Amino acid sequence: METGNLKEKGAIQVVRRRLVQRKQSELNEKAVFAVRAAVLFLAMASLAGMMVSAFSVSCNSFVLYILLGVYSILLTWYYEKDKTNPAFRYVLPGAICGNILLIFITKDSFLGSFYCFMNDIIGSLNKAYNGSLELFPESQITGTYFICIVFIWIGIFLAKGMIEKQENFHFIFVAFPVLILSVLGGGKPSKSSMAVLLLVFLSITSFAGVTMRKKFWWVENKEEFNKNRRVSRRIQFRLALCTAVVGTVLMAASFYGLRPVLTLPMEKVAQAVSPVKVSGLQMLYEILPKISGGKLSFSMEGVGGGVSQGKLGEVSGFSYDNTEALQLTCSRKPQETVYLKGFIGTEYTGSQWKEREDGEFENVVKNWEMEENPLIYIQNLPFLRMLYAQKMLGEDDGSRLNNPIEMTVKRLDANVDYTYVPYQTFLSDRYVMKNGDGAVAGQIAGEDIYSWFPIKEYQSIITRWKAQDASQSRLNDLEEVYKSYVGVADTQVDESGLESLTELCKGKREEWDSKITEELTEEQLEVLEQEKYADVKKFIINTLWSNCTFTTEVWKLPKGQDFVDYFFHEKKRGDSTAFASTAVLMYRMCGIPARYVVGYAAPSSLFIGNGDGTYTAVLQNDNAHAWVEIYVPEMGWTPVETTPGFVGTVVDMEVSEDDLKEQEKVKEEQKKEDAEKKAHEHSQGKAGIFGKVLMILLVFGIVLLVITVRYRYLWKKRRGMLPGILKEEQIKEVFYSFYQVLQFTGFPEEIDTTTQEFVEEVERLYPQIEKKDLQRYMALVLQVHYGQKTVTRKDTEFSTAMYERLVKQAAAGLEKRKKLLFYYWKVF
């Protein structure tokens, strides 16, 4: 004979199962109560703490936690009480009504507090995602009141699950979204709240093993039921203690023991799978603005791999090749790479470049007597000098070559903190300078129009003018003052941590210091200065290129290390930020004023004719770049390219044949690397496809889940098996399904189900169903609907059996398509 499952219809039946506690240890019930209240309190406190810390919500924590403690005690007391006492049935509804009434009475305070709370969260989201979500009206009230009110509801929900039902679903239902929101919202939840949340989660999950089972614990026998309840509470008490002790010990072991061991391999794995991560983030970058209606987006500025605003060695950005940052439209095609300055760093801290301090340069220029804004004036000096020189040379004859290029710069997705400005341009007074003679601050206008001179043309005119006429002018007076200033301010280097680099540059500096003496004439000085600049540039480039290689791979600076020193002596490979940072310091060590610049470099080849004589280039993320600018007397700030592979696209000073050969060599190597990069991008593209496939699978999974849940629900409904349904309702539900099956198979609707005609018709259509059974079934249905029949389990089983028989017969007669509909859509 076959073995059978207990629940199937078999000869051996289980009538009931009961759990009886024969012996249990004694325990202080107050201690048990205290522990359960404590667990509830910790659950609420950790959730509140996580929200508050993640979004920096302004809140009076002391008041909040006190109130949460009070809630915990009251709710634990309430849910532990025996609800058979009629008075208790009204306590919770009363409290809820009281809460609603309180909100209504104090609605202004509640709203104010709500606004404050939401503004903190929205602010955090906007900051993380460069968003523009609208804020609520500003409020003077902190978020404390709102959080306290909300946690009454949350507390009731949690206590219902944890204390009354003794399961963990309620906690997970609340904690999971809070956790996800805190992490994805760009917040940094505090470690303590996360740790407590983890311990609470473990406790509650272990509690779920003693979920209340009323029937099994013999709810009919009050004494036995209470014994089981007491035992379950004691088990929970002991589990809570175990979890607290063991959980804390394991936390310490994990944090101090295993975590450091895992960190290094995790970093390596993170590097290895970064293309997949980038693809995922790329997908998110595309989706986020769409789903938020354009109000949220990622900020994607990267510099050769993802560093912005002067920070060095932080893997917080990433390269997203498809971002369009700026669109340039020029009146004529530039014959050289166009450099657009963004961030300008003047002070090196070891891990980042900082802009000049507020007010520092303003102090310098405050004594300048001029009508114009002196900060703008300094910016405009090269442009004005060019105009002046052209006039002096008599070459302002309208020759196209010497007219400035008109360029429109349209901001697409570039960092909004800066205005991206070409060299040798003229800025009107509407522009605001950040930190004196540094970068131009970002502004609302999405488009800027510049007149600027290409560097080659500028240098050519200025050189000719100087040769012809070196007389003093007002421009030169101001320029002298500025030159002195930058000669001090922008040659400063904190040599701690850079001793070896300093030693390397010391020789070159001394060499030129010995040559350039005060005995020399002005002309001699000028010639030597030019030689010095060329020689130092050659020295820096040769030193850098022979020692380090270019890579787009971004690496994280280890804690306590100096970026330049680490790059130059240990890593020996880096992107433009590494080369530029090192070069700036080396220039300074050699006595030449230098600054670190981050912006965009647009090669000439990128400009495409529009047909109307203008040329347009769209700059993407991979055009973001870092370079050095050095102060050349009477030339002003001049960009110098020190990153391998970029030389030749930049106009620099005289480059010797040897240097050119070396540049060619570097170009060859760069070509090889580009080819490898393309292959890598191809795999990134694949990773992008992978991301899309993942998305599709996810959607498919969700759809499948919905279909499955619907199917199960309907299947149970048809058979009257939904939980909590009474036997009479079950019969009615099954008969309804029975009738629906008949209708589906074309049963005439006009036949009344209460008549004999109905039975005869069913019998005629489905002769395999015995008349006797059908009559018995219909009698049962009628009695349930219209009579006083007490339905037994046998009746419900019989009813379901009749339904199953009909389904089988009905399905047998259907064609294939209809059968699919019958089983899977109608779920008969």
Residues within the interface to other proteins (CB under 8 A): 1-6, 10-25, 191, 194, 198, 202, 205-207, 209-210, 231-232, 234-235, 238-239, 242-243, 246, 250-251, 253-255, 257-259, 261-263, 266-267, 269-270, 273, 277, 280, 315
Q: How much is the CA Rg of the chain, to the nearest whole Å?
A: 39
For tokens 């349904």, the residue is 725
* Rounded Cα–Cα distance for residues 641 and 580 (Å): 8
Nearer to other proteins, 280 or 289 (CB): 280
User: Nearest distance from residue 56's CB to other proteins, in Å?
Assistant: 17
User: Nearest distance from residue 25's CB to other proteins, in Å?
Assistant: 5
User: Nearest distance from residue 23's CB to other proteins, in Å?
Assistant: 4
Which is it for strands 615-620 and 573-574: parallel, antiparallel or unpaired?
Answer: unpaired
* Rounded Cα–Cα distance for residues 179 and 53 (Å): 12
User: Nearest distance from residue 27's CB to other proteins, in Å?
Assistant: 8
Nearer to other proteins, 316 or 755 (CB): 316
Name the CA dihedral angle for 449, 454, 457, 458, rounded to a multiple of 10 degrees: 80
Residues 6+ apart with CB under 8 A from 458: 382, 386, 423, 424, 635
Nearer to other proteins, 207 or 822 (CB): 207
* Rounded Cα–Cα distance for residues 826 and 828 (Å): 5
CB atoms within 10 A of CB 166: 22
* Rounded Cα–Cα distance for residues 528 and 512 (Å): 9
Nearer to other proteins, 231 or 617 (CB): 231
Give yes or no for a contact between 358 and 437, defined as CB atoms under 8 angstroms apart.
no
Residue 632 phi/psi, 5-degree rounding, is -105, 125
Name 601's bridge partners. Answer: 339
Nearer to other proteins, 229 or 385 (CB): 229
Q: Which two tokens stand for residue 671?
A: 């070509």
Nearer to other proteins, 32 or 330 (CB): 32
Nearer to other proteins, 1 or 87 (CB): 1
Nearer to other proteins, 233 or 532 (CB): 233
User: Nearest distance from residue 165's CB to other proteins, in Å?
Assistant: 15
Which amino acid does the sequence have at 238? R
In sequence order, which ranges of 273-313 are alpha helices (DSSP H)? 274-291
* Rounded Cα–Cα distance for residues 131 and 121 (Å): 12
Q: Which of 121, 119, 117 is nearest to 64 (CA)?
A: 117
User: Nearest distance from residue 3's CB to other proteins, in Å?
Assistant: 4
Which amino acid does the sequence have at 235? I
Q: What is the DSSP string of 353-383?
A: EEPPPTTHHHHHHTT---SS-HHHHHHHHHH
Nearer to other proteins, 56 or 473 (CB): 56
Burial of 701 (0-12, 13-18, 19+ CB in 10 A): exposed
User: Nearest distance from residue 191's CB to other proteins, in Å?
Assistant: 6
Q: Which two tokens stand for residue 675?
A: 């080819």
User: Nearest distance from residue 22's CB to other proteins, in Å?
Assistant: 4
* Rounded Cα–Cα distance for residues 375 and 538 (Å): 32
User: Nearest distance from residue 72's CB to other proteins, in Å?
Assistant: 23
User: Nearest distance from residue 12's CB to other proteins, in Å?
Assistant: 5
For tokens 């667990």, the residue is 39
Nearer to other proteins, 272 or 444 (CB): 272
Name the CA dihedral angle for 563, 566, 569, 574, rounded to a multiple of 10 degrees: -70
Nearer to other proteins, 81 or 188 (CB): 188
User: Nearest distance from residue 260's CB to other proteins, in Å?
Assistant: 9
User: Nearest distance from residue 207's CB to other proteins, in Å?
Assistant: 8
Nearer to other proteins, 288 or 734 (CB): 288
CA atoms within 13 A on the CB side of 19: 16
